Chain A
Amino acid sequence: MLKRFRENKSFQGTILATPTLIFMIVLLIVPLILTAIISLGTRSPDGNVIYGFSLHNYARLFGINTECPTGVSLCFDPLYAQILWRSLSLAFNTTILVILMAYPLSYFIARSHPKRRNTFLFMVLVPLWTNFVIRVYAWMMLLRTQGVINGLIGWLAGILHIHFVPLEMLYTPGAVLVGMIYEFLPFMILPIFTSLEKIEASLYEAAADLGANSFRTFLRVTLPLSMPGVVAGTILVFIPVMGTFIVSDLLGGKQVILIGNLIQRQFLDARDPTFGSAASIVLMIMTLIVTYFYTRKFGFGEEIISA
């Protein structure tokens, strides 16, 4: 055994990976299989799972309802399909906006003096030391009708003698978008910064030397070489935004229900684990499909550098 361990590299790898592997199998693969099995069952009237093979939960998610008004056996109900679409487009919008905000900042940090660079990175990370939920609550304080922002505007309006009706900002799609951007910005900044920092200064000089002004240097050299960071950041932002429910729950209320909220409610309020499981599986498949096509187009990024 010991001899085999010393001589066989792949065996060494297996041994080293075993603890994590067991952890993942017990806590990820097994629950996933259970979820899939439950999603194919039906709900008993008292909220238990009757195991079986039925696709009606999936059909319901995509709008085919079997519990229709009397006399109709099948009817179209787009409610859940709308939720799926809303989640997808919100994740998409959040990712795009986060990239647009994170890139210039990362660029600024990467090109700042090495001494100041760590301070800036520290400032990017500081919010992550506070609990996720508390940070969302802080946004509620800001956005409420009687919140900080309305208070400030009202105060200014008072000075200027302008009539001011407080803005309804909380419980809107905009509030959810702002909250999402705020929560996930650091996860885009860090990978983009890392890939920008890796670009040698001599490459910028070479581009300038060959006749490229700073705009064209950015398009032809900086941007392509930092794409691995953008890709990594996109994966780190898009996937959690697709699944999270706290931000939409607190900042969106009943107005902005995402697939994450749907899943949570099925398990806790509606007591329908079969439908909740089906929604979880659909969420996972949607995320996988998007990630698959995205990485097929842009790669995971690293082959550009390590080819």
Chain B
Amino acid sequence: MSEFGVELVDVVKQFPTPEGGKVFAVNHVSMKIKNGEFFSMLGSSGCGKTTSLRMIAGFEWPTEGEVVIAGIPQGHTPPFKRPVNTVFQSYALFQHMNVYQNVAFGLEMDRIDKKEIKNRVSKALDMVQLLGMEKRFPKQLSGGQQQRIALARAIVKTPKVLLLDEPLGALDLKLRKEMQLELKTLQQRLGITFVYVTHDQEEALTMSDRIAVMSFGKVLQTGTPVEIYERPNCKFVADFIGTSNFLHGKVISVEKDMVSVFIEEFGAEVRGLITGDISAGDSVAVSIRPEKIRLSEQSAFNQNCFEGVVSRTTYIGSDTHVYVDIKGNQIKVWEQNKISSLDPKAYYTVGQKVWLTLFMENTLVMTDN
């Protein structure tokens, strides 16, 4: 058996536009999703993540390229012959069937023995904590419960791959957080490959083993949550995942993994870590996360150290968000409130002169896209 649960091999999907043209929903995407992996496709709406998922499910067929599931190229295999099941964003529950009938539906389609169906449905309902609800109809259940039926209906068939299309999108924040944990636990228990589509970066970071960040039909970066957050390979990814400060400039020199960049905004040189393919003379973006900037009242270093004035502060409990103005550019700094104090002097105040240190290993130089 293949090491990969799902592979997308140079997949293209075009849709006709109403004007008679063609639009690329998915533009030469390749992915290798390992067996038993929790894999997320992350991107804003229209980035091609849902279309990619639908091509794995078989609801759409690629214009070019191939979808391979468990080592078998799928070609034009219809959805009902694929070893995958889907949890739909809208749940797509059968309103005319009760909970039991909904969950049993897929097993009945496989002509499985009635007794075994009963066993497996009970097991699946137990897993999503809906035992005893068999006779209820979807309309009589809350959104969270409906979501669980959709989940039970899909996992009861023990597919090789479970596809989830923003399954938690309609739930309120608290329930969503609970379900995130539950989904992750369930995935580890079942050992099934999960392919999860979401636009919520926090959700993707919390649950995934690996994430593919997508934009305009292309995969920009694939990696673990740590890789995606700590080493984004381009400005889009750095911006989409978490918060970043961006500076722009031209590369002066490259030596091993360190780059010197002349920052236009500061009129000064900054040294940082190279990410991706960069050479001298390139226009680049320099990204630094707000929590990774050091704030001090005196200049501490000669390099990567800039003087500014606090223009705004926001106390949010665990942190204080300090906005520092450097030559007309606002830099965000998240200062952790490590010391409990009621004294206003313990915090930065507006108008105060400060020094920012951008540590080289925290300063990422990347392609400006």
Contacts and interface: CB of A to CB of B under 8 A. Distances in A.
B109 A212 contact: yes
Interface of A: 200, 202-203, 205-213, 216, 220-221, 224-225, 304-307
B110 interface: yes
Contacts of A220: 105
Nearest to A115: B18
Interface of B: 57-59, 78-80, 84-86, 88, 90, 92-96, 105-106, 109-110, 137, 139-140, 153-154, 157
B96 A211 contact: no
Contact of A304 (B92, B96, B109, B153): B96
Nearest to A213: B80
A203 B86 CA distance: 12
B183 to A, nearest CB: 18
Given A203-B94, A205-B92, A211 B109 contact: yes
Contacts of A212: 80, 105, 109
B294 to A, nearest CB: 51
Contact of A225 (B86, B96, B109): B96
A202 B90 contact: yes
A209 B86 contact: yes
A211 B92 CA distance: 15
A151 to B, nearest CB: 46
B90 A211 contact: no
B153 A210 contact: yes
B95 A209 contact: no
Contact of A205 (B79, B93, B110, B154): B79
Contact of A203 (B79, B80, B92, B139): B92
A210 B59 CA distance: 12
Nearest to A205: B59
Contacts of A200: 90, 92
Contacts of A224: 96
Taking each of A203, A209, A304, A306, which has the highest tally of chain B beta carbons within 10 Å of its own beta carbon?
A209
Taking each of A206, A216, A305, A306, which has the highest tally of chain B beta carbons within 10 Å of its own beta carbon?
A206
Nearest to A208: B79
A221 B95 CA distance: 9
B105 A304 contact: no
Given A210-B154, A211-B109, 12 more contacts: A200-B92, A203-B94, A205-B57, A206-B88, A207-B94, A208-B79, A209-B84, A210-B109, A211-B110, A211-B157, A304-B95, A304-B96
Given A200-B92, A305-B95, A209 B105 contact: no
Nearest to B165: A202
Nearest to A220: B105
Contacts of B96: 224-225, 304
A136 B210 CA distance: 70
A220 B153 CA distance: 16
| A-B CB proximity, top 7 nearest | A210-B106, A211-B109, A206-B92, A202-B92, A208-B79, A209-B86, A224-B96
A216 B153 CA distance: 17
Contacts of B137: 307
